[in-house]
RNA sequence: GGAGGCGUGGCUGAGCGGUCGAAAGCGCUGGUCUUGAAAACCAGUAGGCCUUUACGGGCCUCAGAGGUUCGAAUCCUCUCGCCUCCGCCA
């Protein structure tokens, strides 16, 4: 976060903390900032003195040199003392600043949890079955499409093995979403999923999401979403204005510990430790309207995918309490799950203004020469196996077979999944 | 995993204890010239922080973090990254 903005308008950030239900002491931050700048000024004054003395030393006679050097030794002692104080303050300041959340946009509803999210759109006909519909697990087991028991045997709790047409279906759906987004100008990317800590801090996953993330080495982690490596891809770079926007569609695995979700969705494919996804990323100019425009456009893209698959869904405007630290506004797409008689989240579309780009140091040079932090956005393309849940349930037939959505048929060369 | 080499501005690349935030070239921007473009010529061209109404002033950064020194791009230590060779290998 830009400390200057917090200085200018602390109330806005305090309010943001309240709305997002994140407890950060802004007053303490500002106090640390004040102390920090005071010490910094002291340090710089001493440094200026030393620099001056060093210039004099070059031309000085031997006697004078001795004098200056002994004087500088004294100054050095003072310098070390202040430096120590400064470092301590700076460290505390930085760790606090890292936790300040982005205030939510004005059109974000207030609320504490996802129950307070506001439905803004519904699409598709909720299917009316003229038979007793089954849940996806029953359907998949009957058709030998999934093996949860052996999944757990191999990989532990919340692990699974897809089989037969489910494998093809997953590949097809990923490829379909990839193709659709490429047609819209997104550059396909297959990034690393093992990422350094800075990438997770930079995207805002850390510090709050640390327990949610698998650590594989001292400074290497398994990314929980394709967004992380894709955003870190351009860290520390300066674009030319005409190089923006950057549009990427990433495809990769994603890994989540689901540490805080004991008891939730313990069975099945809804909440799992590893999954595949395509993800849309936009890096655009530092302009609120530009961000908003892309936010809506990314939503449209995902809606298009859902509509092509003919899965009934709704869109919710997520409430402030449901937003992550860096998110300014988020839409979730939720797909209809007949067996649960409700919609469940499949996509997450957010804009973050300059939250991530500031942390990752992604900038661009305007035509005027001024350098600014870019804006960033992301949205799911498709996430599997979660999407299979509603797909399979909505497409089930009386005999337990599953129709394959028309747009996927060319990828699988099949119209229906039947018992072998 | 073993051995060696190397990390300097947008890029190439010089510098190897003080006059170096850094030569030179390329690139880029502006100008002159031109009907226009190119060429040529001239000028400008790293980022960040503190301070200031402003003009300006100061500080930091030569992969990163420490250290030696009055003084570090230059010397030392560690970390990270890249390259080459060997080994292993989807």
- A345 has catalytic annotation: yes
Give the nucleotide with minimal C1' distance to the Cα of A219: B80
Question: For A355-412, what is each residue's pLDDT tens digit?
Answer: 999 998 888 888 777 788 899 999 999 999 999 999 999 999 999 999 999 999 999 9
Adjacency order of strands within the sheet including A194-196: A194-196, A220-222, A215-217
Average pLDDT, chain A: 92
Question: For A77-113, what is each residue's pLDDT tens digit?
Answer: 888 888 888 888 888 898 899 999 999 999 999 999 9
Question: For A29-54, what is each residue's pLDDT tens digit?
Answer: 999 999 999 988 888 888 888 888 88
- A158 has catalytic annotation: no
Choosing from A90, A345, A365, A401, the catalytic residue is A345
**Local confidence band at A298 (pLDDT 50, 70, 90 cut-offs):** very high
Give the nucleotide with minimal C1' distance to the Cα of A238: B10
ipTM, two decimals: 0.82
Question: For A318-365, what is each residue's pLDDT tens digit?
Answer: 999 999 999 999 999 999 999 999 999 999 999 999 999 999 888 888
Cα–Cα nearest to A100, from A196, A30, A197: A30
Whole-number Å distance between alpha carbons of A312 and A119: 14
Q: Please give the pLDDT value at position A240.
A: 82
Does the CB of A40 sit below 7 A from strand B?
yes
Give the nucleotide with minimal C1' distance to the Cα of A363: B47
- A73 has catalytic annotation: no
How many Å does it take to go from CA A41 to C1' B6?
38
Give chain A residues 214-253 with Cβ within 7 A of strand B: 218-219, 238
Sequence-distant contacts of A108-112: CB under 8 A, at least 24 apart = A108/A19, A108/A317, A108/A318, A108/A319, A108/A320, A108/A323, A108/A328, A108/A329, A109/A317, A109/A318, A109/A319, A109/A320, A110/A19, A110/A319, A110/A320, A110/A321, A111/A319, A111/A320, A111/A321, A111/A322, A112/A21, A112/A319, A112/A321
Q: Please give the pLDDT value at position A51.
A: 85
Which domains are assigned to chain A? 3-97 (1.10.287.40), 114-417 (3.30.930.10)
Percent with pLDDT over 90 in chain A:
69
Q: What is the mean pLDDT of residues A145-166?
A: 94
- What is the token pair recorded at A4? 């200057």
Give chain A residues 62-91 with Cβ within 7 A of strand B: 69, 72-73, 76
Give chain A residues 371-410 with Cβ within 7 A of strand B: 371
Question: For A265-278, what is each residue's pLDDT tens digit?
Answer: 888 999 999 999 99
Does the CB of A45 sit below 7 A from strand B?
yes
Question: For A115-133, what is each residue's pLDDT tens digit?
Answer: 999 999 999 999 999 999 9
Q: Render the burial of A97-125: b for 16+ CB within 10 Å, e for the rest.
A: bbbbbbbbbeebbebeeeeebeeeeeebe
- A418 has catalytic annotation: no
**Local confidence band at A1 (pLDDT 50, 70, 90 cut-offs):** confident
- Between the CA atoms of A390, A392, A394 and A397, what dihedral angle is there, to the nearest 10 degrees? -160
pLDDT at residue A260 is higher than 90 = no
Q: Please give the pLDDT value at position A265.
A: 85
How many Å does it take to go from CA A96 to C1' B6?
38
Q: Three-class SS string for A290-319?
A: HHHHHHHHHHHHHHHHHHHHCCCEEEEECC
**Local confidence band at A419 (pLDDT 50, 70, 90 cut-offs):** very high
Percent with pLDDT over 70 in chain A:
100
Q: ∠ at Cα A328 (A118, A296), nearest 5°? A: 65
How many Å does it take to go from CA A269 to C1' B90?
28
Strand B bases near protein CB (under 7 Å) are: 10, 18-19, 47-51, 58-60, 70-71, 80
Q: What is the pTM of this model?
A: 0.92
Does the CB of A288 sit below 7 A from strand B?
no
How many Å does it take to go from CA A78 to C1' B73?
27
Q: Please give the pLDDT value at position A119.
A: 98
Residue A301 half-sphere exposure toward CB, CA atoms < 13 A: 33
**CB-based contact A93:A33 (threshold 8 Å):** yes
- A342 has catalytic annotation: no
How many Å does it take to go from CA A82 to C1' B72?
22
Give the nucleotide with minimal C1' distance to the Cα of A46: B59
Q: Please give the pLDDT value at position A227.
A: 95
Residues of chain A by 3-state class (helix, strand, coil), percent to 5: 45, 20, 30
pLDDT at residue A58 is higher than 80 = no
- Angle at which helices A26-59 and A10-20 pack, to 10 degrees? 130
Does the CB of A35 sit below 7 A from strand B?
no
Choosing from A256, A330, A358, A363, the catalytic residue is A256
């Amino acid at each position: 976060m830009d400390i200057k903005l917090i200085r200018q308008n602390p109330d806005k950030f305090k309010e943001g903390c309240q709305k997002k239900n994140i407890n950060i002491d802004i007053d303490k931050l500002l106090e640390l900032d004040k102390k920090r700048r005071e010490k910094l000024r002291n340090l710089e004054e001493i440094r200026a003195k030393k620099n001056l003395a060093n210039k004099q030393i070059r031309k000085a006679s031997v006697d004078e040199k001795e004098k200056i050097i002994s004087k500088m030794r004294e100054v050095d002692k003072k310098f070390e003392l202040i430096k120590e104080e400064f470092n301590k303050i700076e460290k505390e300041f930085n760790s606090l600043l890292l936790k300040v959340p982005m205030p939510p946009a004005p059109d974000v509803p207030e609320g504490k949890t996802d129950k307070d999210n506001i439905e803004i759109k519904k699409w598709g006909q909720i299917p009316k079955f003229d038979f007793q519909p089954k849940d996806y697990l029953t359907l998949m087991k009957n058709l030998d499409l999934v093996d949860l028991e052996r999944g757990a045997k191999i990989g532990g709790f919340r692990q699974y093995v897809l089989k037969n047409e489910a494998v093809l279906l997953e590949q097809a759906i990923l490829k379909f979403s990839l193709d659709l987004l490429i047609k819209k100008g997104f550059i396909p990317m297959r990034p690393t999923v093992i990422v350094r800590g800075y990438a997770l801090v930079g995207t805002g996953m850390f510090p709050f999401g640390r327990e949610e993330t698998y650590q594989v080495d001292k400074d290497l982690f398994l990314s929980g979403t394709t967004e992380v490596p894709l955003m870190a891809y351009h860290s520390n770079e300066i674009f030319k204005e005409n190089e923006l926007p950057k549009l990427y569609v990433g495809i990769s695995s994603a890994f989540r510990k689901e540490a805080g979700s004991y008891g939730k969705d313990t069975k099945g494919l809804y909440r799992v430790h590893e999954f595949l996804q395509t993800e849309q990323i936009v890096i655009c100019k530092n302009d609120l309207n530009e961000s908003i425009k892309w936010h809506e456009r990314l939503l449209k893209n995902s809606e298009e995918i859902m509509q092509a698959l003919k899965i009934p869904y709704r869109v919710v405007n997520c409430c402030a309490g449901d937003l992550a630290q860096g998110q300014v506004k988020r839409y979730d797409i939720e797909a209809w799950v007949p067996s649960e008689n409700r919609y469940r989240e499949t996509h997450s579309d957010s804009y973050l203004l300059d939250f991530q780009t500031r942390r990752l140091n992604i900038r661009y040079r305007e035509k005027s020469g001024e350098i600014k932090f870019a804006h960033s956005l992301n949205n799911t393309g498709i996430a599997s196996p979660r999407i299979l849940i509603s797909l399979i349930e909505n497409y089930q037939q009386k005999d337990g077979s599953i129709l394959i959505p028309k747009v996927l048929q060319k990828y699988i060369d099949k119209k229906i999944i039947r018992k072998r």
